A and B are shown apart, each in its own frame.
Chain A
Amino acid sequence: MADTSTARNRIAWIVLAVLVLGAVAFSLWPRPGADSVAGRTRSLAREFRCVDCEGLSVADSQTASARAARVEIRRRLEAGESEAEVRAYFVDLYGESVLLKPEGTGIGLVVWALPVVAVILAGAGIVVAVRRGRRTPRLRATDEDEALVARALGAEHGTDDRADDGDER
């Protein structure tokens, strides 16, 4: 009885995994036909800072200059320029600070790579520490620690800490 329900449970999980992976594959499948110019304009406009407003992109701003920039992006894309060429045009005009997303070269690489490296290192560090912790014998709480905990719990009016999260049985 238990065996069959375990087996059924396992099958349900496998089916779910297959469905989810299938949907992911479906979403990543290249779609026929390129994106529309309007769509490309919109996504590119999000990458440029609106130069006469504070902290908004060209896509979000309603100033005349942002509007002119959107028109220019569209005109250039329609003329067959690539996204990189449009970016280069704006960088030539305003300098690199016009890009809201720093390019992944030179010093700009730091802002992209540093968090990723840090997360990987920290994650690895945690895994190593946990593994090492599991090899060493369990430390016992000192009397001082015990006293502190007892006092702390006593000070917590009532027992919400004790009542908290009854252990799994």
Chain B
Amino acid sequence: MRVRVRAVAVGVAVVLVGLAVVLALNVGRDPRADANRSQLLGQPSPTYDLETLDGAPVSDESQIGRTVVVNFWNSWCIPCEQEHDALVAWWAANRDDDAVTMLGIVREDTRRAVERYVRDEDVTWPVAMDPGGRAALAFGTRGQPETYVISPSGVVVASQYGPVTVANLDDMVAAAERVG
């Protein structure tokens, strides 16, 4: 009897130590960190077929041949506001470069709010609504802002969850241009 109690106690202890190690490994780690790595990297660009606020059609096929920065955003999200200046600065530096372009796709917002934001906040790059959220789904987005960079040949080369900076936009675009 005595031996059995001890044996069971030791067994339980081993399991608990294992559990404790697993838990300890996770202390201080953001549980979402890895979940937010895009599954699309290296894959062909998801298809999308949208219309910009000006009424121009835009799709994955129409963008082939250029590096495309696809930025999912909306007017109410605070991290989107945080990256706004970076987007404006990057666009100012690159808008005349025919080899790259940027497309803002609206995630979970109303057209009215978006149009007001575009007018008030100097959004001069093309912005498209995403009726039914199909493009957001096709990219596997989990929130906003999310940014994907697609190479001229139509491969998803880089992605960023959360606000971008000018430097990491440049890095992602450079990577896409290397892929070609």
Contacts and interface: CB of A to CB of B under 8 A. Distances in A.
Asked if the two chains touch in their complex, CB atoms less than 8 Å apart, one says yes
B35 A68 contact: no
B108 A64 contact: yes
B77 to A, nearest CB: 11
A95 interface: yes
B107 interface: yes
B143 interface: yes
A20 to B, nearest CB: 39
Contact-residue size bin, chain A (C-beta under 8 Å from the other chain): 10 to 19
A94 B159 CA distance: 13
Interface in A18-73: 51-52, 63-65, 67-69, 71-72
Nearest to A72: B137
Contact of B108 (A63, A92, A93): A63
Contact of B39 (A63, A64, A65, A94): A94
A127 to B, nearest CB: 16
A111 to B, nearest CB: 14
A62 to B, nearest CB: 11
A109 to B, nearest CB: 18
Contacts of B35: 95, 97
Contacts of B40: 93
A51 B133 contact: no
Contact of A72 (B108, B134, B141, B142): B134
Contacts of B138: 93
Contact of B140 (A67, A71, A93): A93
A64 B133 contact: yes
Contacts of B108: 63-65
A68 B143 contact: no
Contacts of A93: 39-40, 137-138, 140
Contacts of A94: 39, 140, 142
Contacts of A52: 141-143
A75 to B, nearest CB: 10
Interface of B: 35, 37, 39-40, 107-108, 132-134, 136-138, 140-143
Interface of A: 51-52, 63-65, 67-69, 71-72, 92-95, 97
